[in-house]
Amino acid sequence: MQTINTNGKLLNISKPIIAGILNITPDSFFDGGKYTNINAVRNRIKQIISEGAEIIDIGAYSSRPGAKHISEKEELQRLIPVLELIVKDFSNTIISLDTFRSEIAKIAVNNYEVAIINDISAGNIDKKMLPTIAKLNVPYIMMHMKGTPKNMQKNPKYKDLIKEIIKFFAEKIQHTRQLGVNDVIIDPGFGFGKTIEHNYQILNELEKFRILDCPILVGISRKSMIYKVLNSSPKDALSASLALNMTALEKGANILRVHDVKETMQVISVFKKLKKIDKKRTIGKD
């Protein structure tokens, strides 16, 4: 059984689970501005939990291309009321915090029971992040990003896309292991320094990342890699998001980071049924 340790509780990720997205930013690409007051946040948390997500992934810094840079102080000002609400009313919830700042990670884990840190830069933006994670002893989601949110989509190029990303992760994983980090989750970083073609190649070859022997998180929900292909918009990208999430599951994704928890739970349910049938057929052949 594959598990990660979240605040002393073992979370089973042998079967796929969902991280429901809670963006408390005014400018995220899909739901920016929807959850900037505490009542809306409370209702969103209730929704994510009731629809079956195991993790709530909170972000207070928008990392979409061209998003406004905010200070550490402003990120904390957005976060603290939400974290206080969760500690008070949703204390058994597993919270993942989307931040690349080590000081914010430290405050969130030590003061507000945050269980997982999700870093879009894998420690490249804040060099103190990896030693901080080791001291905090929490699971760490490391994402691959070429460049920074400001410049990542300016003509990203690779000589060998998959090999380069796997090499990046192999080096980062080795470093975190040396520091004493036990639970590392990898995120290939769809849309972060990749063209549309790069994104689809990564998804098509996702099973190759299993060589790293770490759980894989996939975050493609309603992204431009989907709606640009459809000549559409994020709000019209649900069906295609679900289709690609099924592909991600087939290729070994452990965690799906999504906006639409209920619908993605349905995808996971039929995926599990499909795998049960496959297993029975295999046993029957033996």
Q: Among 29-38, 103-112, 187-196, which is the least confidently predicted range?
A: 29-38
Specify the pLDDT at position 201.
98
Instruction: Report the percent of the chain where pLDDT is more than 90.
Output: 79
Domains of the chain: 3-285 (3.20.20.20)
pLDDT digits (tens, 9 = 90+) for 62-112: 776 666 778 999 999 999 999 999 999 999 999 999 999 999 999 999 999
**For range 251-262, the mean pLDDT:** 97
Angle at 161 between CA 155 and CA 162, to 5 degrees: 150
The pTM (predicted TM-score) of the whole model is 0.92
Specify the pLDDT at position 218.
98
| Mean pLDDT (the chain, rounded) | 91
Specify the pLDDT at position 149.
67
Q: Which helix (H) or strand (E) holds 130?
A: helix 129-136
Q: Is 80 exposed, middle or buried (0-12, 13-18, 19+ CB in 10 A)?
A: middle
Query: What's the token pair of residue 116?
Result: 């997982």
What are the C-alpha distances in Å from 130 to residues 1, 102, 176?
26, 8, 7
Please give the single-letter amino acid code of residue 197: E
Q: Which helix (H) or strand (E) holds 272?
A: helix 261-285
| CA atoms of 197 and 185, how far apart (whole Å) | 24
Tell me which residues are annotated as active site. 223, 257
Nearest CA-CA partner of 139 in 75, 186, 102, 201: 186
Query: What's the token pair of residue 267?
Result: 């995808």
pLDDT digits (tens, 9 = 90+) for 156-191: 889 999 999 999 999 999 999 999 998 999 999 999
